[in-house]
Structure 1
Amino acid sequence: MNFSSFSSSPSVVTEAQTVSCVKTFVLPDKCFDKRIGCAWRRGNQFGIYPRSQNVNKTTSDTAAKSNDKILNIRQNIVLFTPILRKLVNEANGTFLSLQKLVEISKSSDNQVEFLKLSRQYRSIIRVCIESLQEAAEKETDGLEKNTLLSYITIFYSIECIWHLCEILYIDIIPGEVVLPFLLEWVRFHFPCHEQTAAQLLEACERGSEDHPEYWDTVIGMVVQGRIDVVRSLLKLHSNADSNEFKLVDNSLRSMPVYNVYGGISTGEFTISWKHWQAECRSKLSSGLLAQNDQLELIMRLMTGDYSAFESIRAKYSSWYDILGGWVLFTAPWARRRELGAAGAACAGLGGAGGSRLDLTVRALLEGDLHQVIHEIQQISDNGWFASHLTDILYHSGKLQILEHQTDVTSHLRDSLILEYGSLLMEHKSLWSVGLSYLASCPPEGLKRAELLLERLPIDTEAKAMRVVAQAKKYGLVDVAQNVSAAMGARRLCAGGAGGVGAALAWGGRARCGPLCARAAHAALRAYCGARPLPAADLLLSAGAALLVDDTLLLLGKYCDFHRLYKNREFRKAAKLLISLITSNIAPEYFWPTLLLDTLPLLETDEPVLSADDTYEIMLCLELRSACLSTEKADLLRLALARNLARTALIDVED
């Protein structure tokens, strides 16, 4: 049977129709025209296969000749793209730092640290965007380049939303007057006309109004609250010395700017601001600017005229390009909770809207975090953004979905983290990262980790060692033992001295008696067949692990006997060998080896086996004489008699 796999992305599978957000795909092969079956595979995958109508009549020959295929349908995981691995790994480090911070300090007075961690997340996103941009510039394949550009759009939106969320919910803003931070957000993410303004100011030429984007740039700087830049650009106009330009410049220069450390209260600033705006309206109504539509538009914007903002809305791609300017010229003292009205006013200016970013920004300004999380879950980044942002909002105490319902917010955070961790567990190299996320949501996370970890495909010993180490790290002892036992059984089936030695090592790690017994028997039988003892160094340092099974204990002690004999410590070797003989733990096939090992000890220059030891060997020999050939048994009896005579003479002399 032929096997093929394909992604469920539109580039591979043809979409037939869409009904109520449920997609139907045409299977790209005629073998699926009649009857098909479906079976879930590991992770977010399932296989589709043709079902034979005559299952009982199918033979191996007909199956081999068929052209049937098994199709593997899998979810397209953006985070598994190689260029995004760095994002996953670095974000994991910041996530673990956040969990450690919360664990060490139970108090909620960690806002400064939360802000640092939030900025770490944003810097990671920025580095990711830069990497994607570099890769897109070098890419020559049109399809791949479009994919990279779509990733850039996704993570640009993520960084934009995170930055605004940081300003409104995580940052510590004195007096909660958010205007300076809001203007910074707009300037950073929507740098409209900034490059043109820099070019005009660098040229510093009178008559710059001839530039086709001159007035659009001036208006753009007004909307972004860059008053000094606006004044500098107006001075480049050929009529900058006229009364109209001086009138506008004077109004711009005298505009009050609120500073929490300026020594005046919000109320005093409000009075000063309203007085300045009244003067602007007076100048506007005087008709002095009627001859210059652009200067009149600037003055109307400064007075917060809604129709003026409405007239320039079409020049911008989104309503939040002018959000900072609207707040600046209508309510510069606005607190965080008062931004909802500003968002609604700007969103109602007209133009295209309703995108995911639009809806999320509106929800953030209105303080509806439930809607924010709902919207960011729809972003096709496979849950990276939703899980990390929700986690930091939850731990900073700002995630209040329902009042006085802490369980709801806790369950929301845990569900997103568990989903994200389970997704990473599907990847062949990111599974350990996913495990750390699951472990941060006890007890359900550890239960899920146990189920997923046991089902990881293990193709190398190195990966098995990693799985065992990670399982022990998070207290999943059963998983470590099961994996070790499975690897030991696999190596034992492979055979050979290396396989038996590795099986002994895995059996010791698993503390699995049956596996250790099988491996030990295999090692002893191999030794009886004139092959060397496997894993001798391992057995000499096994310690208490030898007590798992009697046969393993025998093997370990027998290796110790060989070490003592090789080091010419004959008395210790003889004592150990006698203990093995008298313990009766040796299997029947190994008794000939144990008995014959006494021969060189019986023939040493000085006796190392006492009369009692000799009698023990004689007793065992008579009881198991059938295991030795007549020649070997007679040879051993002769050596025993001679040693008994030597030990008797020593006793008489003493």
Structure 2
Amino acid sequence: MDDIQTIKRVKTFVLPDKCFEKRVACAWRRGNKFSVYPRSQKPNKTTSESSVKTDDKILVISQEIGLFSPILRRLVNEANGTFLSVRKVSETSKNSDNQVEFLKLSRQYRSIIRVCIESLQEAGEKEEDGVTRNDLLSYITIFYSIECIWHLCEILFIDIIPGDVVLPFLLEWVRFHFPRHEQTAAQLLESCERGSEDHPDYWDTVVGMVVQGRVDVARALLKLHSAVDSNEFKLVDNSLRSMPVYSVYGGISTGEFTISWKHWQAECRSKLNSRLLGQQPQLELVMRIMTGEYSAFESIRGKYTSWFDVLGGWLLFTAPWARRHELGSAA
């Protein structure tokens, strides 16, 4: 078989032939530019030679700047207005607390980025040139990452969190930016067919919902399994149903919740050690995740694009009461 080589398309252009009649030279200019021009090795003395030389041209070659495109220029202009507003608010914050205004401007900035991403996606769908389409896809990836990280920073440094317990906000962040498992779960639940374990992504989706703290969705997915009436499934379902959930407005202190949580995890660990789930390795994995077992999270790490996907789940099953200033030790 002939070797198949992958050829990457790059932008190319052809220099006019006249550039090479008297040899060609190149000189760097200010910025990301350089000039290409004909270069004669002999000085021109006659009038006829001078007249020929008048047809010579200097070609200026420069790097294409993405920010000059209409979509990205609109992003820069709108974001500039937001940052100017931040500057004004920061000047007045010396005399008053403007946390709400900072949060409002942060969300406004993220909204601007998401509009830009949508515009880039629409342009990419209409673009016929492969090179330009790849450029647009690269911009989408870059700005999606920017918005994702900015949202996380907003939670950690700007948002007003009751009781400073950050877990619910982190779980919401994960659900918002990594909806792959949620979308698959919606499809499975919509079909509502017993025996859904035949779907290639069934167990990954169940685990994904548990990691994201979507316990009700995970239980609903388990009920679609053909062996849902077995003791193993009932055992895991009961553990998921009884999982304590902390709320600042729940009427219990952090200490009381911690005791309740550790008692629940001890029960899960006891069920796991009893080897009752030995015949169901996927259910055993779910239970290991619920006990906060590090090796369980390591085993599923390869199924996720980044550690962001499992950030909320790791915190959920190791330190759900953690406050923002405690995230370092929880990590």
TM range (shorter): 0.7 to 0.9
Does residue 102 (structure 1) correspond to residue 103 (structure 2)? The answer is no
The residue that corresponds to 1:244 in the other structure is 232
Alignment equivalent of 2:292, drawn from 304, 325, 336: 304
The residue that corresponds to 1:169 in the other structure is 157
Q: Distance in 2 between matches of 1:104 and 1:87?
A: 26
Q: Give the superposition deviation at 1:239.
A: 2.0
Other structure's SS at 2:308 match: helix
Q: Is the 8 A contact 1:35 1:52 kept in 2?
A: no
The residue that corresponds to 1:208 in the other structure is 196
Alignment equivalent of 1:266, drawn from 251, 254, 260: 254
- Within-5 A mapping of 1:37-52: 37-40=27-30, 45=33, 47=35, 49=37
Q: Distance in 1 between matches of 2:245 and 2:198?
A: 32
Does residue 112 (structure 1) correspond to residue 97 (structure 2)? The answer is no
- Within-5 A mapping of 1:169-208: 169-208=157-196
Q: Distance in 2 between matches of 1:104 and 1:54?
A: 69
Other structure's SS at 1:237 match: coil
Does residue 65 (structure 1) correspond to residue 69 (structure 2)? The answer is no
The residue that corresponds to 1:11 in the other structure is 11
Q: Distance in 2 between matches of 1:44 and 1:307?
A: 49
- Within-5 A mapping of 1:563-642: none
Greater gyration radius: 1
Q: 1:295 to 1:143 in 2, by over 3 A?
A: same
Question: Residue by residue, what CA displacement relative to the aligned partner does 1:179-198 show, whole Å, maximum 9, x if unpaired?
Answer: 11111111111112222210
Q: Which amino acid counterpart does residue 52 of structure 2 have in structure 1?
A: K
Q: Which amino acid counterpart does residue 317 of structure 1 have in structure 2?
A: T
Q: Distance in 2 between matches of 1:302 and 1:99?
A: 45
Does residue 84 (structure 1) correspond to residue 80 (structure 2)? The answer is no
Q: Give the superposition deviation at 1:224.
A: 1.2
Q: Distance in 2 between matches of 1:32 and 1:285?
A: 84
Q: Is the 8 A contact 1:38 1:49 kept in 2?
A: no
Q: Give the superposition deviation at 1:250.
A: 1.2
Q: Give the superposition deviation at 1:162.
A: 1.0
Q: 1:278 to 1:85 in 2, by over 3 A?
A: same
Does residue 137 (structure 1) correspond to residue 125 (structure 2)? The answer is yes
The structure richer in helix per residue is 1
Q: Give the superposition deviation at 1:118.
A: 0.5
Question: Residue by residue, what CA displacement relative to the aligned partner does 1:287-307 show, whole Å, maximum 9, x if unpaired?
Answer: 111111111110001001111
Q: 1:64 to 1:286 in 2, by over 3 A?
A: farther
Other structure's SS at 2:58 match: strand
Q: Is the 8 A contact 2:23 2:39 kept in 1?
A: no
Larger RCO, structures 1/2 (Cα 8 Å, 6+ apart): 2
Q: Distance in 2 between matches of 1:163 and 1:305?
A: 28
Q: Distance in 1 between matches of 2:154 and 2:47?
A: 63
- For structure 2, the 5+ residue unaligned runs are 1-8
Q: Is the 8 A contact 1:136 1:148 kept in 2?
A: yes
Q: 1:105 to 1:337 in 2, by over 3 A?
A: closer
Q: Is the 8 A contact 1:83 1:132 kept in 2?
A: yes
Q: Distance in 2 between matches of 1:76 and 1:295?
A: 53
Q: 1:102 to 1:337 in 2, by over 3 A?
A: closer
Q: Distance in 2 between matches of 1:39 and 1:294?
A: 62
The residue that corresponds to 1:222 in the other structure is 210
Q: Distance in 1 between matches of 2:65 and 2:32?
A: 10
TM-score normalised by L of structure 1: 0.45
Q: Give the superposition deviation at 1:177.
A: 1.8
Does residue 281 (structure 1) correspond to residue 235 (structure 2)? The answer is no
The residue that corresponds to 1:594 in the other structure is none
Q: Is the 8 A contact 2:27 2:36 kept in 1?
A: yes
Q: Is the 8 A contact 1:36 1:51 kept in 2?
A: no
Q: Give the superposition deviation at 1:275.
A: 1.1
Q: 1:169 to 1:49 in 2, by over 3 A?
A: farther
Q: Which amino acid counterpart does residue 268 of structure 2 have in structure 1?
A: C
Q: 1:208 to 1:32 in 2, by over 3 A?
A: farther
Alignment equivalent of 1:323, drawn from 311, 316, 322: 311
- Within-5 A mapping of 1:272-421: 272-340=260-328, 343=331
Q: Distance in 2 between matches of 1:33 and 1:274?
A: 80
Q: 1:34 to 1:215 in 2, by over 3 A?
A: closer
- Within-5 A mapping of 1:389-538: none
Q: Is the 8 A contact 1:323 1:342 kept in 2?
A: no
Q: Distance in 2 between matches of 1:328 and 1:34?
A: 65
Q: 1:200 to 1:39 in 2, by over 3 A?
A: closer
Other structure's SS at 1:322 match: helix
Q: Which amino acid counterpart does residue 304 of structure 1 have in structure 2?
A: G
Other structure's SS at 2:256 match: helix
Q: Give the superposition deviation at 1:37.
A: 3.9
Q: Distance in 1 between matches of 2:20 and 2:328?
A: 56
The residue that corresponds to 1:644 in the other structure is none
TM-score normalised by L of structure 2: 0.86
Q: Which amino acid counterpart does residue 11 of structure 1 have in structure 2?
A: K
Q: Is the 8 A contact 1:37 1:51 kept in 2?
A: no
Other structure's SS at 2:137 match: helix
In the alignment of these two chains, the number of paired residues is 319
Q: Distance in 2 between matches of 1:251 and 1:116?
A: 40
The residue that corresponds to 1:156 in the other structure is 144
Q: Give the superposition deviation at 1:176.
A: 2.3
Q: Distance in 1 between matches of 2:22 and 2:137?
A: 36
Question: Residue by residue, what CA displacement relative to the aligned partner does 1:386-438 show, whole Å, maximum 9, x if unpaired?
Answer: xxxxxxxxxxxxxxxxxxxxxxxxxxxxxxxxxxxxxxxxxxxxxxxxxxxxx
- For structure 1, the 5+ residue unaligned runs are 1-8, 15-28, 344-654
Other structure's SS at 1:287 match: coil
How large is the Cα RMSD of the aligned pairs?
A: 2.7
Q: Is the 8 A contact 2:26 2:35 kept in 1?
A: no
Other structure's SS at 1:193 match: helix
Q: Distance in 2 between matches of 1:182 and 1:60?
A: 77
Q: Distance in 2 between matches of 1:320 and 1:180?
A: 15
Q: Give the superposition deviation at 1:245.
A: 1.3
Q: Give the superposition deviation at 1:323.
A: 1.5
